[in-house]
């Protein structure tokens, strides 16, 4: 009887985790310090923002699937067959184009799909796809500034409190190999990890560093008027030797129509509703 | 006493690390100008008008608006280009998406450093497989075009330098050394020499302290050597030795 009870409890906890909506962390209105002194791209500054709520985790495959099932939405990778995928053996910063890849097979059909990975962040989607999701779900992407405020969690450095370059692997799913010629699963994951598997920041946000680069809204001077998507926080692909953007200062860029297996997003809603 | 000095040293180290995280030194005007110089590309003149016309005629993918997505020439149009035009097309229209996540901050003394890697060109695209295949399978012709174009414009854009590395253009080493020593302005030419030696796994280089610093366990795209006559001379001497080793016996 006791055992059945425990099993039932376990079952409800387990299914609850899969079914739950993303939980939000409320960030109060206020003035926050962001940027880095001397940086051209992201100079140190104080900014005042309205209150907003940001999801504690990156958007999962399960959540994206609900959108697709409800709307029949086809991602850009499905329409244009132009997703970029990774496999060990590639030189630094090289990706492969794979016409079979899209969010259900983020690294192409031959490298496996998302079965059993519904609690991993959705990838293989473009910035444009992320906007489509947000429109349907009544949420939005964080601005570049909102993302940084939430990621820093009050820290004045480029990492949130407790993180250093040496211990970041406790908090972030990143690449720990010297290069990408050999597979690296030192932390248990070569590609994405389930959301919230690593330790959160002091405000309760998981995976702000590593796992997937997170799309944000906003523009930078270096865009020179072009429409460019920006993503922050680094990803499972990023190592200290290549693309060490797993911090709260650096900002990556990508074409708004590009779909990569290390790009995803988390969502925001204004504190008083949408 | 000893303990106090040790504690003081620890505190100083800690504060230094903190300071590094909190700010970075504003680059000088010379450093900023040198970064701009490093990021410049070269537009080849070969069939440029026709190539631009073909690029302009590319139809956007359905659902795209304007110039947002990257679009490539169809196979038929691409194959209709001459070798020189294909070269120009590659240099001005990389046709595969890329993520730009190695946009490093300008170093305070960037103009006084020799970097381990070339700088990012700044945009969000890279060469596709067919463009890389073209460069590699026509390396003799492409090297000749790069030489001709660089002689004419007296500079070598980062796209040319990247192409040389991608093609493993070790035969260009004497030319690159001559080109560099004309005015010694473009220290990224020394970077190309090092990348070619790295690619060629040239043992006197791969066992060197420079290699360890630039490409070792802690090296990344921001790592650089100090630019001084000793490092310059050593890089050139090693590159000459690498070329000599690789050159077939009897070749000029």
Task: Report ipTM for this prediction.
Answer: 0.85
- Specify the 3-state DSSP secondary structure of B23: strand
Distance of alpha carbon A156 from alpha carbon B171, whole angstroms: 50
Is B111 domain-assigned? yes
Give the residue, B86 or B22, on which the prediction is more confident: B86
Distance of alpha carbon B170 from alpha carbon B172, whole angstroms: 5
**Chain B residues in contact with chain A using a Cβ-Cβ cutoff of 8 Å:** 18, 21-27, 61-64, 68-70, 96-103, 105-106, 122, 124-126, 128-129, 217-221
Closest CA to A85 of A111, A46, A51, A58: A111
Shortest distance between the Cα of A227 and any Cα of chain B, in A, equals 7
CB contact under 8 Å between B128 and A97, yes or no, is yes
Closest CA to A21 of A52, A53, A62, A51: A62
Distance of alpha carbon B220 from alpha carbon B102, whole angstroms: 9
Mean per-residue pLDDT, B55-66: 67
Closest CA to A84 of A183, A173, A249, A213: A213
Residue B61 carries which DSSP code? Answer: P
Q: Is the pLDDT of residue B9 over 60?
A: no
Q: What is the pLDDT of residue A10?
A: 45
Q: What is the pLDDT of residue B243?
A: 98
Half-sphere exposure (Cβ direction) of A143: Cα atoms closer than 13 Å? 14
Residue pair A173/A198 in contact (Cβ under 8 Å)? The answer is: yes
Closest CA to A46 of A27, A31, A36, A59: A31
Which structure tokens are listed for A116? Answer: 């059993």
CB contact under 8 Å between B96 and A93, yes or no, is no
CB contact under 8 Å between A80 and B61, yes or no, is yes
**CATH fold of A2-270:** 3.90.1580
Is B9 domain-assigned? no
In the structure, what pLDDT confidence band is assigned to residue B133 with cuts at 50, 70 and 90? very high
Write the CB contacts of B202 (distance below 8 Å, at least 6 apart in sequence).
B238, B241, B242, B245
Which structure tokens are listed for A122? Answer: 């959705």
Distance of alpha carbon A16 from alpha carbon A19, whole angstroms: 5
Q: B101: nearest CA in chain A?
A: A252
Distance of alpha carbon B201 from alpha carbon B198, whole angstroms: 5
Is B2 domain-assigned? no
pTM of the model: 0.86
The DSSP string of chain A is -HHHHHHHHHHHHHHHHHHPPPPEEEE-SEEEEESBBT-SSSB-EEEEE--EEEESSPPBHHHHHHHHHHH----HHHHH---EE--TTPPTT--EE-TT-BTTBTT-GGG--STT-TTSBP-SB-HHHHHHHHHHHT-BPPBHHHHHHHHHTT-SSSS-TT--TTTGGGT-B---SSSSSS---TTS-SS---TT-SPPPTTS---SSBSSEEEEB---GGGTTS--EEEES--TT--SSS----SSS-EEEE-TT--BTTEE---EEETT--
Shortest distance between the Cα of A16 and any Cα of chain B, in A, equals 36
CB contact under 8 Å between B101 and A178, yes or no, is no
Our measurement of the distance from residue B85's CA atom to the centroid of its chain's CA atoms, rounded to an integer in Å, reads 22
Q: β-pairing, A52-55 with A84-85?
A: unpaired
Percent of chain B at pLDDT > 90 equals: 70
CB contact under 8 Å between B100 and A39, yes or no, is no
Distance of alpha carbon A153 from alpha carbon A159, whole angstroms: 9
With beta carbons under 8 A apart, name residues in chain B contacting A179: none
Measured CA distances, B234 to B8, B102, B186 (Å): 38, 27, 17
- Specify the 3-state DSSP secondary structure of B244: helix
Which structure tokens are listed for B183? Answer: 């005015």
Distance of alpha carbon A138 from alpha carbon A187, whole angstroms: 35
- How many domains in chain B? 1
- Specify the 3-state DSSP secondary structure of B219: coil
Q: Which of B15, B63, B93, B99 to mutate to test the interface with A (most CBs of A within 10 A)?
A: B99
In the structure, what pLDDT confidence band is assigned to residue B67 with cuts at 50, 70 and 90? very low
CA dihedral B214, B219, B222, B223 (to 10 degrees): -40
Mean per-residue pLDDT, B92-116: 89
In the structure, what pLDDT confidence band is assigned to residue B100 with cuts at 50, 70 and 90? confident
Average pLDDT, consecutive stretches of 10 residues, N- to C-terminus, chain A (274 residues): 47 41 89 88 92 98 98 96 95 92 98 97 98 98 98 95 93 95 94 97 98 96 88 96 92 95 97 59
Half-sphere exposure (Cβ direction) of B205: Cα atoms closer than 13 Å? 26
Q: What is the pLDDT of residue B248?
A: 80
Q: What is the pLDDT of residue A12?
A: 40
Which structural domain, as residue segments, surrounds residue B43?
26-246
Q: Is the pLDDT of residue B236 over 70?
A: yes
Write the CB contacts of A16 (distance below 8 Å, at least 6 apart in sequence).
none
Element (H, E) at B125: strand B125-126
A239 beta partners: none
């Amino acid at each position: 009887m006791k055992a059945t009870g425990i099993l039932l409890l376990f079952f409800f906890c387990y299914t609850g985790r899969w079914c739950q909506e993303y939980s939000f962390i409320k960030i109060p209105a206020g003035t926050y310090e962001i940027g880095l002194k001397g940086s051209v791209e992201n100079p140190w500054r104080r900014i005042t923002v309205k209150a907003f709520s940001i999801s504690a985790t990156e958007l999962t495959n399960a959540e994206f699937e609900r959108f697709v099932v409800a709307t029949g939405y086809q991602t850009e990778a499905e329409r244009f067959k132009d997703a970029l995928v990774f496999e060990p053996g590639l030189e630094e910063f090289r990706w492969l184009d794979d016409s079979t890849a899209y969010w259900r097979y983020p690294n192409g059909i031959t490298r496996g799909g998302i079965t059993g990975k519904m609690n991993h962040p959705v990838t293989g989607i473009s910035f444009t796809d992320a906007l489509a999701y947000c429109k349907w779900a009544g949420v939005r992407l964080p601005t570049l500034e909102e993302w940084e405020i939430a990621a820093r969690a009050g820290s004045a450095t480029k990492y949130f409190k407790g993180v250093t370059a040496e211990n970041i692997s406790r908090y972030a799913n990143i690449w720990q190999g010297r290069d990408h010629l050999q597979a690296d699963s030192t932390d248990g994951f070569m590609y994405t990890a389930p959301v919230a598997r690593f330790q959160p920041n002091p405000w309760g946000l998981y995976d702000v560093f590593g796992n997937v680069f997170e799309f944000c809204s906003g523009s930078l001077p270096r865009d020179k008027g072009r429409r460019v998507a920006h993503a922050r926080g680094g990803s499972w692909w990023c190592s200290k030797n290549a693309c060490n953007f797993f911090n709260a200062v650096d900002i990556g860029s990508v074409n708004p129509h590009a779909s990569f297996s290390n790009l995803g997003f988390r969502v925001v809603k204004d504190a008083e509703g949408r | 006493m000893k303990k106090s000095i040790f504690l003081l040293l620890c505190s100083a180290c800690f504060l230094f690390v903190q300071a590094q995280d909190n700010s970075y030194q504003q680059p000088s005007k010379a450093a900023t100008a040198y970064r701009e110089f490093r990021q410049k590309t070269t537009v080849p003149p070969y069939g440029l008008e026709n190539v631009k016309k073909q690029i302009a005629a590319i139809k956007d993918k359905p659902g795209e608006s304007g110039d947002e997505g990257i679009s490539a020439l169809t196979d038929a149009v691409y194959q209709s280009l001459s070798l020189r035009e294909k070269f120009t097309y590659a240099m001005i229209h990389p046709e595969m998406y890329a993520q730009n996540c190695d946009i490093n901050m300008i170093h305070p003394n960037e103009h006084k450093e020799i970097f381990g890697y070339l700088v990012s060109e700044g945009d969000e695209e890279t060469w596709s497989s067919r463009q890389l295949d073209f460069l590699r399978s026509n390396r003799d012709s492409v090297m000749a075009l790069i030489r001709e174009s660089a002689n004419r414009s007296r500079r070598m854009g980062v796209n040319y330098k990247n192409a040389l590395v991608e093609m493993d253009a070790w035969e260009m080493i004497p030319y690159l050394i001559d080109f560099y020593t004309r005015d010694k302005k473009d220290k990224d030419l020394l970077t190309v020499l090092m990348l070619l030696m790295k690619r060629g796994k040239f043992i006197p280089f791969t066992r060197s302290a420079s290699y360890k610093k630039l490409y070792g366990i802690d090296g990344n795209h921001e790592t650089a050597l100090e630019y001084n006559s000793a490092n310059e001379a050593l890089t050139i001497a090693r590159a000459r030795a690498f070329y000599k080793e690789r050159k077939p016996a009897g070749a000029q």
